[in-house]
Structure formats: structure tokens, C-alpha cells
Amino acid sequence: MLTARGRLALLLAAGMYVAAWALGTREAYAPAVGLALAVLAAVVYVRLVRGPFRFWLSVVAADPDRRRAVRELLELEAETRRQLDAAAIRLDDGVHAKHRLTAYHDFFVERVREGERVLDVGCGKGELAHDLVVRAGAEVVGIDNDPHHLAFARERFRHERLRFVDGTAPADLPGERFDVVVLSNVLEHVEDRPRLLRELVASAEPRVVLIRVPVLARDWTVPLRRELGLDYFSDPGHFVEYDEAGLRDEVAAAGLRVTELRLVWGEIWAAAAPA
């Protein structure tokens, strides 16, 4: 069924086409036809794709093999989530919408003092690093090993107090002192996490390490996935996902103590200081 907005767009396209024909203005044909085709595509999707897709999902759910039905639906959910993440990045022109919706940058910004030097390990596209510069007044060095992420960061987030370095921690650490070390969604991608923390503290000598990691028990499908033999981490590149005790133990093994910890949005946000 065509929405009111769709009907309006179709009428507008038809009006443009008729006006172009009456006035002999061929330049208006292309946008009119393009708009009409876009509306037609939306109608085709709604009527010919979404309906059958929903029916197919109901068929999958009704599979007599109940375990197979649940496995298939969970795998579809994971693929849908991957596509949703990609769409959420396009929505905000290359920056995942979670950066503004969850406001997790605030946790880091509020714990960095003006003029401090910050090392952002695994800085990705530089979104948080840039906020630490412009909102906290810090001087930031971001390190990452993804050339596409670094290219985006250097193009989008230019500032005299912000520098991006190509490398992997701990092997390619700058060898400079920093007041704050940031590890935002990084530890879970590292196999030997206590070693990384120890080497970061030894190299940077920070007053505080700010950490953000995913929680394992984020919803009821996690134990269900594990029961059915499916991947149950939120990302296939994770070596671990956390509970509060697990993070405290890893931090302590690196000679740090947790001074603050929050559970929010299926994540742990924490601050740790040298013990």
C-alpha cells in the first residue's frame, strides 16, 4: 500500500512530467521519471518483497525441527544486524549513529582535563578522539591499524591538536608520556589483554585509563545462541565479552584498579588508575 507521502511524490512526478511535455522542456523529463521510478520501486518492495519475506519468516519459524527453526532465525537476525550497522553508518554520513544516540563520548570527555595529553588506542575513524580535542580541550594522538579508518579520520577530523598514527599497540606505541589512555571497544579484540594494559601503562605512564567494553549478558539470545552452537559474541572478532567481575580481574592483573564503573547500553564504561 502506498503511503500519503508516496502518493504525493508520485503526483509531483506526474505533474513535472506533464508540465515538461506541455512546455517542451526536455530537461525536466529525467528528474520526473527518476522520481516516478523511485516511488514505483518502493511500491514494488512493499507489495512484492516485504510481504513474501514476512511469510517466508513465518514458514521458517514453523519448521517442525524447532531447534533448526530457532537457529535459522538467529542467523537471520545476525545478518540483519550487520546490515543495520552499515545503514546506521550511512545515515550519519560515515559515522555510526550510536555515537550520538548513546552519548558514550560524554563519559570520556568528562574525565579528561583541559590541556591533558591523550592516547586513543584503536581510535578507528577518529570520532571520539576529535571530541576529546574540541570538547575536553585535550591534545590527542590516535593509533589504529586500519588504513581506511585512518584515511577517514584524517579527512573528516582535522585539528592542530589531533594526530593519527598508523600502527598496532603495543608494538607501535609512540613512546611518549600521556595523561590519559583511552581504550574504547578495543580490549575485546585483543587476545592478551593484561599484557597490553601493562605495556600501555609502562609506556604512557597515565594517571587514568578509560575503558569501554561490551557486556556478554546483553540479552536472552546470548545463552540461546551458545546452547545451539552459534556464535554468541556481538562481533566475530571478539576474544572475550565481559561482566563486571571479569573486567575488574583483568584490570587488576595489569596492576590497575577500577575507580569507576558503569553498566549502560549493554556495555561497561570504566576508569582505572595505577594501583
What is the pairing mode between strands 162-166 and 267-274? unpaired
How would residue 24 be classed by pLDDT, with cut points 50, 70 and 90? low
Q: Are residues 69 and 174 in the same domain?
A: no
Q: Are residues 47 and 86 in the same domain?
A: no
Residue 83 has pLDDT above 70, yes or no: yes
pLDDT tens, residue by residue, 29-74: 566 556 556 666 666 655 666 777 888 888 888 999 999 999 999 9
Looking at the structure of the chain, the number of domains it has is 3
Residue 91 has pLDDT above 80, yes or no: yes
Q: Which percentage of the chain shows pLDDT scores above 90?
A: 73
Residue 85, Cα to own-chain centre: how many angstroms?
7
Q: Are residues 238 and 147 in the same domain?
A: yes
Phi-psi category of residue 227: left, alpha or beta, with phi > 0 → left and psi -120 to 50 → alpha: alpha
SS in 3 state form for the chain?
Answer: CCCHHHHHHHHHHHHHHHHHHHHCCHHHHHHHHHHHHHHHHHHHHHHHHHHHHHHHHHHHHCCCCHHHHHHHHHHHHHHHHHHHHHHHHHHCCCCCCHHHHCCCHHHHHCCCCCCCEEEEECCCCCHHHHHHHHCCCCEEEEEECCHHHHHHHHHHCCCCCEEEEECCCCCCCCCCCCCEEEEECCHHHCCCHHHHHHHHHHHHCCCEEEEEEEECCCCCHHHHHHHCCCCCCCCCCCCCCECHHHHHHHHHHCCEEEEEEEEECCEEEEEEEEC
Q: Which residue has the higher pLDDT, 20 or 247?
A: 247
The Cα–Cα gap between 234 and 226 comes to 12
> What integer best gives the mean pLDDT of the chain?
88
State the cell numbers at 241: 565479552
CB atoms within 10 A of CB 253: 13
The Cα–Cα gap between 94 and 125 comes to 9
Per-residue pLDDT, 275: 83
For residue 18, give every residue at least 6 positions away whose Cβ sits within 8 Å of its Cβ, in sequence order, or none. none
Q: Are residues 26 and 149 in the same domain?
A: no
Give buried/exposed letters for 218-238 (b at 16+ CB in 10 A, else e): eeebbeebeeeeeebbbeeeb
Q: What crossing angle do the helices spanning 4-23 and 29-44 adopt, rounded to 10°?
A: 150
Among residues 74, 97, 120, the one where a domain terminates is: 97
Q: Are residues 153 and 259 in the same domain?
A: yes
Domain that holds residue 74: 65-97
Residue 82 has pLDDT above 70, yes or no: yes
Per-residue pLDDT, 36: 59
- pTM listed for this prediction: 0.81
Q: Are residues 51 and 70 in the same domain?
A: no
Q: Are residues 49 and 124 in the same domain?
A: no
Residue 114 has pLDDT above 70, yes or no: yes
Per-residue pLDDT, 169: 85
Q: Are residues 71 and 58 in the same domain?
A: no
What is the pairing mode between strands 139-144 and 117-121? parallel
Q: Are residues 210 and 268 in the same domain?
A: yes
Q: Are residues 151 and 239 in the same domain?
A: yes
